Amino acid sequence: MKLTLHRSADSRRGFTIIEILVSIVVISILVVVTVVSYNGATDRAERSAIVAHVKQYANAIEMYIADNGKAPAANWRCLGDSTTLPAKDGYDENYCFKPSNGGTNTGDSAPADPQLMQLLRGYMDEMPTATFPESQAMWGRIYRGMIYDGSTNNFPNHPATLTYFTRFPECPIGEKVNWWTNNYPDSSGCVYILSRNEVGTLYVR
């Protein structure tokens, strides 16, 4: 016995305009949700990396303080070395920022200090990369990392600090210094205050 299958008229019809539009809307919503979720996950990962790197350096400096009764004296120095702060993409070697206004870094007291880094290596299992997503801040510079300041130049009452700049509107860790990024509202200049200054005075948080 031979069976013959028949298609109904309804089964042969195509999609209506309404069905196509609904499908486009649904797909668009799914794309937006996926992008937002991805961006949110990326932002959380970047914030976590910043917090981890700041804490690593802060812990190393705090251990040095515990051993020596004072923080290392250094004036506005990038944290890293030629491996973690290589010369590329417009950055000079050992610098965590690009020169401002297309100039040079000559005379700036900010390259990584080999003596300081040697001191800190004794308190760290490995050197953090100290490189963050780029952010533009004071003096028109673009920053990629973290700075240690063991002087009274920027914070007379707290002369042992870690500074970094981030593209986030708020600091993942530390306090925001508004004037550092006044002209760049989507960025933050952040300072993490260490527990003692360079002469060993206790700073109570």
pLDDT digits (tens, 9 = 90+) for 179-200: 888 777 778 889 998 875 544 4
In this predicted structure, what is the pLDDT of residue 40? 66
Whole-prediction pTM value? 0.72
- Tell me how far CA of residue 116 lies from CA of 14, 106, 138, 145, in angstroms: 72, 20, 25, 16
Q: How far apart are CA 94 and CA 120, in angstroms?
A: 16
In this predicted structure, what is the pLDDT of residue 101? 57
Check: CB of residue 132 under 8 Å from CB of residue 69. no
Look-up of token digits 């700049």: 165
The full set of domain ranges for the chain reads 16-193
In this predicted structure, what is the pLDDT of residue 202? 45
Mean of the per-residue pLDDT values of the chain: 78
In this predicted structure, what is the pLDDT of residue 186? 78
96 closest CA partner among 63, 61, 137, 65: 137
Q: How big is the chain by its Cα radius of gyration, in Å? A: 26
As to burial, measured by CB atoms within 10 angstroms (0-12 exposed, 13-18 middle, 19+ buried), residue 100 is: middle
pLDDT digits (tens, 9 = 90+) for 65-108: 888 888 888 888 999 888 888 898 888 899 888 876 555 665 56
pLDDT digits (tens, 9 = 90+) for 57-66: 999 998 988 8
